[in-house]
Amino acid sequence: MTNKQSKYRSYIKFLFLGLFIIFLFFADQYTKYLAVRNLSGRKEISFISGLISFSYVENRGMAWGMLSGKIVFFIVLTGLLIAFIAYSICRIEKLTVLMPQKTGLYTFLQFCLSILIAGAFGNLADRIKNGYVVDFIKTDFIDFPVFNVADCYVTISMVLLIIIVLFFIKEDDLNQIFSLKKLEKG
């Protein structure tokens, strides 16, 4: 593949990942809009009896209200995390060009990181806009904090990333992704 072809392929991939992140972000925001509109000030609504219900919560911290009221901390931390993940996605793309035999694995890794970014952006937008995160999904079968769609994105992406790191990516790959050294063909 020529340099021009690989740049074009990278551009198309970044365009797709960007649109994917935007779609997931707006899906999360729409569900939160529906939660505010239909659940705020109302009693809990059973969705699947004994499993899932909908309950409106304004979360000013993390799970179980930890670090409640630390909005600036969450905004700064989330912003830094998003920047680091975006950097990692770009770095992985450079590795994909240098090691085309790993394109499938690296593309899936970028896809998982994009899901993580969408979840982080979803909750970041709530914190900036409202000063809290709108949560509304409640598990009835286990004592677990009320959560939202963005939290699902974060959880799903983290599970997939753990599986990828444990079973599919070698330590050398991780070292190259997170190294500060310039990537060169070699």
On whether the CB atoms of residues 130 and 33 are closer than 8 A, the answer is no
The answer to whether residue 135 is catalytic is yes
Q: Which member of 135, 140, 143, 173 is catalytic? A: 135
> Could you read off the pLDDT of 16-56 as tens digits, one per residue?
999 999 999 999 999 999 999 999 999 999 999 999 999 99
> Could you read off the pLDDT of 107-150 as tens digits, one per residue?
999 999 999 999 999 999 999 999 999 999 999 999 899 999 99
Q: Which member of 28, 126, 140, 151 is catalytic? A: 151
d(CA 138, CA 96): 40
Predicted TM-score (pTM) of the model is 0.90
Query: Quick one: pLDDT at residue 184?
Result: 62
Helix (H) or strand (E) holding 47: strand 45-48
Question: Which pLDDT band, with edges at 50, 70 and 90, does 172 fall under?
Answer: confident
